[in-house]
Amino acid sequence: MTLPDPTLRLRVDTGALADNWRSLDRLSGNARAGAAVKADAYGLGMATTAPVLRAAGCQDFFVAHWSEALAACAHVPSSMVSVLHGPMSSADAVFARELGVKPVINSLVQATHWIEVGGGLCDLMVDTGINRLGVPMSDLADPLLAKLSIDVLLSHLASADEDSPMNAVQQERWSAARKQMAHRRASLANSAGITLGSAYHGDLTRPGIALYGGVPCAALNGVIRQVAYPEAAILQVRDLRPGDHVGYNATFTATSHMRIGVLSIGYADGYLRAWSGKGVMHNGYRHLPVLGRVSMDMTVIDLTAAPDLREGDWLEVCYDLPDAAAKSGLSQYELLTGLGRRFQR
Ligand SMILES: *Cc1c(COP(=O)(O)O)cnc(C)c1O
């Protein structure tokens, strides 16, 4: 059996993805850019993105879960993969050794799990103020940590996308940690952190969102290209008379004769109800607004400006991330990672 043609697809501009990585690598100065590819490369697909990033020159790939490590290793050498959540048990640590990926050690307990199974090269996350994962500065002198072979000594900024005094505080703590712990390479900056200057670069940067078209801070305006283009097909075209309503709760009412299109995309696909009455679809140069409520599997649009469109025709969802975030009230991160499984990637 062959699967019928899809009515929902996510086009990934791999040229733009490679360009974004090269731009971020250049902006990282003497440091090299790695790539955060957790959450299936922010929803764009590991299989689509990892080989492109690797070919562009990326040599360090960060995932969150152990399950994601397996997916990454299908596309890049396992020695280039780091697992941010670290080993929660000795079983996780054994898995890391068998697969050949690096665990990111986030606590003395995680260090124990890693050392007990024989250890090897790992990364160490130091908490410098975000209070999420990471060894506290006060634990750095623990003799247990001296037993680790640390490749990347990393920390993570809480407010890199803002002009916050917290950035300098975290940078100073990270610099102090670098002096205290033996390590091969040091890393602090995410996408926005790269723009804070060379003091934040160390040896390796870890962009995520900006690789995929997100613009987390003004300094990246005009540098980053859109990568993800959601596209949906028209399932049905219909004509409305004045007074006819559209969708759940009849929140749109036609004031004249008009043509509408029912698209195969809904909130189950991550096209959330925040877009009700706000979203826009493109067909070439034509902009077609969303009418009424977005429902689970369908969204209705106004075809007045495109009366030639028919069932099966494709429309591009307006999804330029900074713009889409401003319009929908969702974050650029949520806009990408929320894109569902029904998109053909
Ligand atoms: C997700 C993540 C990144 C990437 O952050 P962006 O803001 O998407 O660039 C970098 N480092 C760590 C530890 C992360 O969890």
The pLDDT value recorded for residue 232 is 98
Place of tokens 């209705």: 300
Q: What is the pLDDT of residue 286?
A: 95
Q: Which atom of ligand 1 is nearest to the CA of 206?
A: 10
Q: Going by DSSP bridges, is the β-strand pair 149-154/185-187 parallel, antiparallel, or unpaired? A: parallel
Rounded distance between C-alpha atoms, residue 66 and residue 85, angstroms: 8
The answer to pTM > 0.85 is yes
| C-alpha dist (Å) from residue 131 to 86, 176, 291 | 16, 17, 43
Pocket test for ligand 1, best of 123, 126, 170, 190 (most atoms within 8 A of CB): 190
What single DSSP character describes residue 3? Answer: P
Q: How far is the CA of 180 from the centre of ligand 1 (A)?
A: 24
Of 37, 49, 126, residue with least CA distance to 81: 37
Q: What's at 330, amino acid-wise?
A: L
CA 33–ligand 1 middle distance (angstroms): 12
Dist. CA 37 → ligand 1 center (Å): 9
Task: Please list the rounded mean pLDDT of every run of 10 residues in the chain (345 residues).
Answer: 94 98 98 98 98 98 97 98 98 98 98 97 98 97 98 98 97 98 98 98 98 97 98 98 97 97 98 95 96 98 96 97 96 97 95
> Atom 12, ligand 1: which residue's CA is nearest?
156
Which residue's CA is minimally distant from atom 4 of ligand 1?
208
Ligand 1 atom index nearest CA of 214? 8
Upper half-sphere CA count for residue 169 (Cβ side, 13 Å): 11
Binding pocket residue ranges, ligand 1, CB within 6 Å: 36, 38, 84, 156, 190-191, 206-210, 216
In this structure, the strands spanning 280-283 and 314-317 are antiparallel
Residue type at 287? H
CA 136 to ligand 1 center in whole angstroms: 19
Reported as a single tens digit per residue, the pLDDT across 66-88 is 999 999 999 999 999 999 999 99
- What confidence tens digit (pLDDT) does each residue in 104-155 have? 999 999 999 999 999 999 999 999 999 999 999 999 999 999 999 999 999 9
- 161 Cα nearest atom in ligand 1: 7
Q: How far is ligand 1, taken at its centre, from the CA of residue 223, in Å?
A: 19
Percent of the residues in the chain that have a pLDDT greater than 70, as a whole number:
100
Query: What does pLDDT average to over the chain?
Result: 97
Local structure of residue 240 (DSSP, 8 states): E
> Mind giving me the DSSP string for 233-246?
EEEEEEEE-TT-EE
Residues with catalytic annotation? 38, 248
Task: Answer whether 38's CB lies under 8 Å from 206's CB.
Answer: no
How confident is the model at residue 289, as a pLDDT? 98
